[in-house]
Structure 1
Amino acid sequence: MKTFSQIIGQKRAVDFLKRVISGDRVPHGYLFTGINGVGKSTAALALARAVNCTSDTTGDGCGRCITCRQLSSGNFPDIMSVGPDGQNIKIEQIRELNRGLNYKPVSGRFRVTIIERAETMSEEAANSFLKTLEEPPQGNIIILKVVDQRDLLPTIVSRCQRVPFNPLNRDVIKGYLVEHHNQDESTAYLAAGIADGSLGRAIEICEEGFLDNRRELIELLIGLFDMPGDQVVETAIGYGKKFSKKGQEDKSDIDLYGVTGIWKTCLRDLLLVKVNGNCDMIENRDYRERIQGLAARHDADKLIEGFFLVDSYQRDLLRNPNTGLLMEKMLLELKMLSS
C-alpha cells in the first residue's frame, strides 16, 4: 500500500501534491525529478490512490474502498507503466500508449500512466509523446520520472507540472535504516554515506554482500596510488570487462554506482585528514591508520580533483553510459592524478 505518509524526507513535494489534488482542477502532466531511491515511484502510486479513492479526504486513500483494495493488491486496472525497451523508449511503445489513453478509465476516476526513465525516449518517441501531452484524452494523468529535466525536450518540460524530489539528509537515511531495517548505528551511518542521498540505494547497500565488497574496492583505490602503470592498465581492463558483463538483475555483486559511492567516502576521508588531521569524522573508521598514512603522502589539491573526478563519473552513470568503459577510464584517470 503506497501512500504519501510513507514517503520519507520529501515534505515539500508531498504537501504540494496533496494541495494540488485537493483542488478543483488536477494537472494532467507531472514531471518528477530527482535521483533514484528518493520517493518518486512511491509518490506516483500514492497520487494514483489519492485521485481515485472514493472515500478519503486526507490525501492518503481510505484503504477500504474497492479502488484502494485493488491498488494494495496490485490489481488496479487504471495504472499503466512505460519504460525503456533495451536502451530506449521506442516510438512503437508510445504509439501503443497513445492508443490505450484513448479509452476511458476502466475502474477509477483517472487512469495514471507512469513513464519510467523518460529521458530515454528516442527523438521520434519524444515528438510523438509531445502531441499526447499537449492534449491528453480526458481522465488521464501522466507522470514522467527523470533524474534531470535537462535530459528532456524543453517543450515536454514546459507542458508538465514539475515536482522536485531532493536527495535525503544522511541522518534521515541513517535513522530509517536503524529503525526499519534493524541496522546497527555504524553500518547505517556508512550505508547512508555511500548512498549519497538515496534511501532506496541505502537499503540495497545493507543487503548481504555489498559491504563485504566494500573492502575489496577500498583496497583497490588505496593500492592504485602505488600500482605500476602497466598493472593499472591490466586492472582497469579487467574491471571494465567485469562491469560490462554484469547484468542489472544480478544483486550478488556491487554495481558501479556503489563503487563510486564507496570511493567518494574514501577520498573524503583522505581530505579530512589531510586538511585538519582529525580522524574522528572519517567514515571508513576501520581504515583509519592507512588513511592517515596516505593523506600524509598526497597533495590536497590532487585529492580534491580525485573526489570531483569520481563524482562526475557517478553523475554520468545516471545517463546510462557504457559502464565497463567508464570503469576503465575512471581507474586510469585516478592513477594519472596520483602520479
Structure 2
Amino acid sequence: MATWSELQHTQPRVVPFILKSLEKDRLSHAYIFAGESGTGKREIALQLTKSYFCRERNGTEPCGQCVDCRRIDKGNHPDVHMIVPDGASIKKHQVEFLQKEFTYRGVESSHKIYVISEADKMTASAANSLLKFLEEPESPTLALLLTERESALLPTVRSRSQQLSFHPLSKSVFSDKLQEMGMSRLQSLLLAEITTNFEHTNHLNEGDWIAQARSVVIQLMGELYLRPNQVLLTLQDKWLPICKDKEQQEAGLDMILLWLRDLLYIQTGKSDTLVFPDQQDQYEQLALSISQQQISEHLSSVLEAKRHLNANMNYQLVMEKLLLSIQGV
C-alpha cells in the first residue's frame, strides 16, 4: 500500500496541495486529475478516498487496515463509486445511475465519492448530466475526474472543478517503476531517457524490442569507431529490420544520441550518470582516441538525422548518411 509520502515522491506538487486541503478540511466538491498515463492519478485518487473515509487515520495518512480502507482497496465500498468507459465511451445512463445512487443516504457515512476514469470519454449527453450533478449534488459528495485530455472535457465541467495537473514522472521515478514491474535495470534506464509515458513504453517494449535494439545499438556504435568496414553491413542486416515504424526509428536515433552522450560523459568525468553503464570499459577505450569536439560534432549529426526523419526522408538513407558523416566520409 502506497503512503502519502511515497506518492509525494511521484507528484511533488499535487500531493502537498491535497494534503493541505485534507488537514484544513477544505476539500473542493470536485477535482479534475489531468496528466499522462502512469503519472499516479488513480493511485492518488484512491489514497484520497481512503483518507476521506478512514476513521483511524493518523493525521492525513489512512490506516489501511480498517473496514473502510480495506473495502476501498477491494473496490466494494458502498459509498465509493467508480465509473469507467462502457466500451468506447462513458454513456448517459452510467451518470444517471450514479445520480440515482447518490439520492440514497450514505450507507457508512453521510458522504460519498465518485471517481470517473477517462472522463474525457463521456458522451455529450453524459457530460451534460454530470454538469447538473456537479451543480446540484443530492448529498455531500466528492467528485474525482481522471483524464489524459483535459481539453476534451466540457468547459463548464472544467469551470466547476478544481483542476490539478499531474506532471510527467521524473526519469529516476519512472525507471524505478519500470523495475518494479519486472524490467531490468539496464532497459529501464534507457527507456526512461527516451520517454516517461507508459503507453509509449509499452509500444517500444513489444516483443522485447527495447532489449534487441539496445544490443544492436551497442554493436553498431562499437563497429562505427573500431571496425568501420563492418558497420554498414550491421546496419543492413540487424538495425534496419528491427526499426520498422516511425516510433522505433525515432527511438533508435535517441539511443544513438544517448550512447554518444555517455561517451562524452566519460570524457568529462560523469561516469555515474551513464545510460549504458555496462559499456563503460569500451567508452574508456574509445575516449583515448576521440576528442570532446569530435563527439560534439557527432551528436550534432544525430540531431540532423532526427530532423531529416521528421521531414519524412527515407530511414535507410537517414541512417547511412548519419554513419558516413560520423566516419568523416
TM-score band by shorter chain is 0.5 to 0.7
Asked if 1 retains the 8 angstrom alpha-carbon contact of 2:112 and 2:141, the reply is yes
What's the counterpart of residue 48 of structure 2?
47
Asked if 1 retains the 8 angstrom alpha-carbon contact of 2:33 and 2:146, the reply is yes
Change (3 A) 1:205 1:137: farther
Change (3 A) 1:112 1:12: same
Matches within 5 A, 1:113-262: 113-177=114-178, 180=180, 184-194=184-194, 196-198=195-197, 209=208, 211=210, 260=247, 262=248
Secondary structure at the residue paired with 1:41? Answer: helix
Asked if 1 retains the 8 angstrom alpha-carbon contact of 2:35 and 2:147, the reply is yes
Q: What is the CA-CA distance between 1:182 and the residue it aligns to?
A: 6.7
Indicate yes or no: 2:311 matched with 1:304.
no
Q: What is the CA-CA distance between 1:17 and the residue it aligns to?
A: 0.7
Deviations 1:27-48 (A, max 9, x none): 1101001001111001111011
Q: What is the CA-CA distance between 1:103 and the residue it aligns to?
A: 1.8
TM (norm. structure 1) is: 0.65
Indicate yes or no: 2:263 matched with 1:267.
no
For the residues of structure 1 that align with 2:112 and 2:49, how far apart are their CA atoms? 8
Q: What is the CA-CA distance between 1:60 and the residue it aligns to?
A: 1.7
For the residues of structure 2 that align with 1:282 and 1:112, how far apart are their CA atoms? 43
Give 1:5's aligned amino acid. Answer: S
Asked if 2 retains the 8 angstrom alpha-carbon contact of 1:3 and 1:42, the reply is no
For the residues of structure 1 that align with 2:216 and 2:152, how far apart are their CA atoms? 31
Q: What is the CA-CA distance between 1:338 and the residue it aligns to?
A: 5.7
TM (norm. structure 2) is: 0.67
For the residues of structure 2 that align with 1:12 and 1:199, how far apart are their CA atoms? 20
For the residues of structure 2 that align with 1:275 and 1:200, how far apart are their CA atoms? 26
Change (3 A) 1:205 1:140: farther
5+ residue gaps, structure 1: 240-258, 310-332
Larger Rg: 2
Change (3 A) 1:94 1:305: farther
Asked if 1 retains the 8 angstrom alpha-carbon contact of 2:81 and 2:113, the reply is yes
Change (3 A) 1:306 1:203: closer
Secondary structure at the residue paired with 2:187? Answer: helix
Change (3 A) 1:266 1:285: farther
For the residues of structure 1 that align with 2:12 and 2:199, how far apart are their CA atoms? 17
For the residues of structure 1 that align with 2:126 and 2:204, how far apart are their CA atoms? 35
Give 2:254's aligned amino acid. Answer: R
Give 1:61's aligned amino acid. Answer: P
Q: What is the CA-CA distance between 1:50 and the residue it aligns to?
A: 0.5
Q: What is the CA-CA distance between 1:163 and the residue it aligns to?
A: 1.4
Q: What is the CA-CA distance between 1:52 and the residue it aligns to?
A: 0.7
Change (3 A) 1:204 1:18: farther
Secondary structure at the residue paired with 2:55? Answer: coil
Q: What is the CA-CA distance between 1:59 and the residue it aligns to?
A: 1.2
Asked if 1 retains the 8 angstrom alpha-carbon contact of 2:90 and 2:121, the reply is yes
Give 1:268's aligned amino acid. Answer: D
Q: What is the CA-CA distance between 1:51 and the residue it aligns to?
A: 0.9
Change (3 A) 1:3 1:175: closer
Secondary structure at the residue paired with 1:128? Answer: helix
Change (3 A) 1:176 1:61: same
Secondary structure at the residue paired with 1:11? Answer: coil
For the residues of structure 2 that align with 1:2 and 1:275, how far apart are their CA atoms? 35
Change (3 A) 1:337 1:62: same
Q: What is the CA-CA distance between 1:25 and the residue it aligns to?
A: 3.3
Identity score, percent: 26
For the residues of structure 1 that align with 2:314 and 2:55, how far apart are their CA atoms? 61
For the residues of structure 2 that align with 1:148 and 1:217, how far apart are their CA atoms? 36
Asked if 2 retains the 8 angstrom alpha-carbon contact of 1:89 and 1:125, the reply is yes
- Range moving further from structure 2, 153-162 or 277-286: 277-286
Asked if 1 retains the 8 angstrom alpha-carbon contact of 2:259 and 2:276, the reply is no
Asked if 1 retains the 8 angstrom alpha-carbon contact of 2:257 and 2:302, the reply is no
Give 1:38's aligned amino acid. Answer: T
Give 2:28's aligned amino acid. Answer: P
Matches within 5 A, 1:101-120: 101-120=102-121
Deviations 1:76-127 (A, max 9, x none): 2222111212211111222212212222221145321111111111111111
Asked if 2 retains the 8 angstrom alpha-carbon contact of 1:35 and 1:147, the reply is yes
Secondary structure at the residue paired with 1:36? Answer: coil
Q: What is the CA-CA distance between 1:138 and the residue it aligns to?
A: 2.2
Q: What is the CA-CA distance between 1:137 and the residue it aligns to?
A: 2.2
Asked if 2 retains the 8 angstrom alpha-carbon contact of 1:271 and 1:304, the reply is no
What's the counterpart of residue 95 of structure 1?
96
